[in-house]
Amino acid sequence: MNPDPSGFGTMLDYMLEPEIYNLRGVEALQKILHRRGIQDFPLHVKLDTGMHRLGFAEKDLEQLIPWLQHADFRVASVFSHLVASGDSHHDQFTREQIQGFNQMCSRLSLALGLTFRKHILNSTGIERFTDAQYDMVRLGIGLHGIGEDPSLKVVSSFLTTVSQMRTVAAGETVGYLRSGLTNRLSSIATIPLGYADGFHRSLGNGNGFVFVNGQMAPTIGEICMDMAMIDVTGLEVCEGDEVELFGKQQSVSELARQAGTIPYEILTSVPERVKRVYLQE
């Protein structure tokens, strides 16, 4: 993804096909291919149709095309990124992106005298703009069952267990900064994960909820680095009971809403130190 030219040599060593998004990258790749005597090497061209992040704009094609006509290269695919495919307020802009993509691809195909694979759709784009599925689509967060289509199924859960139960008197505080004030005799459960595990600090002090034995429980106090506390007053909870942050009872999207972020950030915030368990039916 988005390789820097300094990594092209290693990519060639492992027969990986780079994407190119600027003229500096094209020139650097051509030099190393020529030096190694490699011709007809597949590459993938990124176009900027409105994201304005990476990629060739339409005005860049005049300079790009002569480079792509080198015998060292073979364009395997051309692609772009939609800005807001999941937001109906921006559907007109999305259609303009798709139209611009079509025009740029046609220009490249005509100039190079070849056809190539095209793709522009992410998960929400697959659902909402079926006429732009082309040769490939990029199913990302949809793999986790996140999307508008009700047939999508949740396939991942973030689970932990209760480490310790304690009874805390009314008027006491829980956690750092004394921000978790109890207004009644409370049952408090500590769970062994915190912001270093992807449970965002913004979810502390009752902003976030988890599920224990199918029962919803709010956080209390600050989220710690490796631990968090939840208020389970009135619930049937014991040490060792399973706790779900997201999964079948609470979606990633709902947890993201509580944290004031997006599902992508929740999923990518879960680090390697959190054990993965893979199940197959």
For 153-173, write each residue's pLDDT tens digit: 889 999 999 999 999 999 999
Report the mean per-residue pLDDT for the chain: 96
DSSP per-residue letters across the chain: ----GGGHHHHHHTTPPPEE-SHHHHHHHHHHHHHHT--SEEEEEEB-SS--SSSB-GGGHHHHHHHHTSTTEEEEEEE---S-TT-GGGHHHHHHHHHHHHHHHHHHHHHHT---EEE---HHHHHH-GGG--S-----GGGGT-SS-TT------EEEE--EEEEE-TT-EESGGG-EE-SSSEEEEEES--GGGT--GGGTTTT-EEEETTEEEEB-S---SS-EEEE-TTS---TT-EEEEESSSS-HHHHHHHHTS-HHHHHHTS-TTSPP-----
Residue 125: predicted pLDDT? 96
What are the tens digits of pLDDT across the range 176-201? 999 999 999 999 999 999 999 999 99
Domains 5-139 and 158-268 share a fold: no
Model confidence at 26: pLDDT above 90: yes
Model confidence at 213: pLDDT above 80: yes
Max mean pLDDT range (6-20, 160-174, 266-280): 160-174
**Residue 2 — very low, low, confident or very high, per pLDDT cuts 50/70/90?**
confident
- The domain ranges of the chain are 5-139, 158-268
Write down the CATH number for the domain with range 5-139: 3.20.20.10
Model confidence at 203: pLDDT above 70: yes
pTM of the model: 0.88
What are the tens digits of pLDDT across the range 59-72? 999 999 999 999 99
Residue 216: predicted pLDDT? 98
Residue 1: predicted pLDDT? 64
158-268 is classed CATH 3.90.180.10: no
